[in-house]
Amino acid sequence: MPELPEVEVTRRKISPKFVGRTIAAVHMTADSYFFLTKPPELKRRLNGRTVAALERHGKYLVAALDDGSRLLLHLGMTGQLFVQGSSSLRLLSSTSRASLRPEEQSIFKPDSHTHLRLGFKDGGPEVWFRDVRKFGKVKWIAPGETDERLNRLGPDALEATGEILWAASRKKTVAAKNLLLDQSILAGVGNIYADEALFLSGVRPTRKAGKLTRADCDALAQNIRKVMARSIETGGSSISDYISPDGADGAYQDERQVYARKGEPCRVCGAPIRKITLGQRGTHFCRVCQK
DNA sequence: ACCGCACCCTGAGCGC
DNA sequence: TGCGCTCAGGGTGCGG
């Protein structure tokens, strides 16, 4: 599940093989709600454009194009943006991987989930966007136009401050975790890092946001920045030339304190990690360490 | 205005 | 061996 760190790692990996190249071919799967811009229009808009930059806003990637338009990409839950020819074992399930001969395992061919394929004038490797569950999004933004999705985003989570959380949480009855997941307050925090930051800050996910102290807000902001920066570091070093579809499956898993550790002992006090559902999301915490 | 919740989708994993 | 069920959660939108 790509959260800010996974998206940032993707951006860094893809940029050198995307920025500066001129799009000469656009292939797409059948229209679906994955395409906020319909495939025929997308093809028309992208063809011939040169990619000027690849930026990130929260969990969104935005490619700036040479005519002033922009291509918005959101990875959703299972989105993967990668370069053709990447050795990409993680792109296949373990079962389908097992059916391949060893020499085939490093080659990924576009499948029914590979919704967008960008070819380039230089004839080099294509850039592919694959998304099994189609929770991801692709949208072309006209020159000078803004996008409601981007407009709604709060400050990037890497720039989180206690002041932001303090101001946003006053008199709110929403659970502290749901406050962290609100992209209009901080952009980029997802389920995993919300649970981790709450644990490191000693805040129970269910606590009402209005009951957070200023010190809690400072701790949360600091820990959000900390877990994200650390994840980008480890993700960047462990992900060589493929992109894992599962944040919990990356190098950061070794440092997880609570996420997906239901029933396992808390690393601080030994009490079993609890799992509840909050805001439709699996939520993990330690009853002893988080008040 | 705020908040809880249903929904979009597919594959993995599990019990029988 | 295979079927049916549950779970995973980012983001949108609706109803209370």
* A225 assigned to active site: no
Say what the pLDDT of residue A95 is.
47
Say what the pLDDT of residue A3 is.
86
* A43 assigned to active site: no
Mean pLDDT by groups of 10 residues along chain A of 291 residues: 87 94 96 92 96 95 97 92 74 50 65 94 95 93 93 93 94 92 93 93 94 95 93 67 54 79 91 89 93 93
Name the one residue in this structure whose structure tokens are 């992900």.
A239
Say what the pLDDT of residue A234 is.
82
Q: Is residue A140 a contact partner of residue A46, using CB atoms and an 8 Å limit?
A: yes
A134 touches strand C (CB under 7 A): no
* A59 assigned to active site: yes
- What tens digit of pLDDT does each residue of A238-265 get? 544 555 555 455 566 678 899 888 888 9
Footprint of strand B on the protein (CB under 7 A): A 33, 77, 93-96, 113, 132-135, 172-175, 178, 209, 279-280
* A8 assigned to active site: no
- What tens digit of pLDDT does each residue of A93-147 get? 444 555 555 555 567 788 889 999 999 999 999 999 999 999 999 999 999 999 9
Rounded CA-CA distance A51/A20 in Å is 5
Burial A9-45 (b: 16+ CB within 10 A, else e): bbbebbbebbeebebbebebbeeeebbebebeebeeb
CATH architecture for residues A157-285: Orthogonal Bundle (1.10)
Amino acid letter, A39:
P
Say what the pLDDT of residue A87 is.
64
Task: Name the nt closest to A95 by C-alpha to C1'.
Answer: B12
* CATH (residue range A4-151): 3.20.190.10
The domains of chain A are located at 4-151, 157-285
Q: Is residue A205 a contact partner of residue A195, using CB atoms and an 8 Å limit?
A: yes
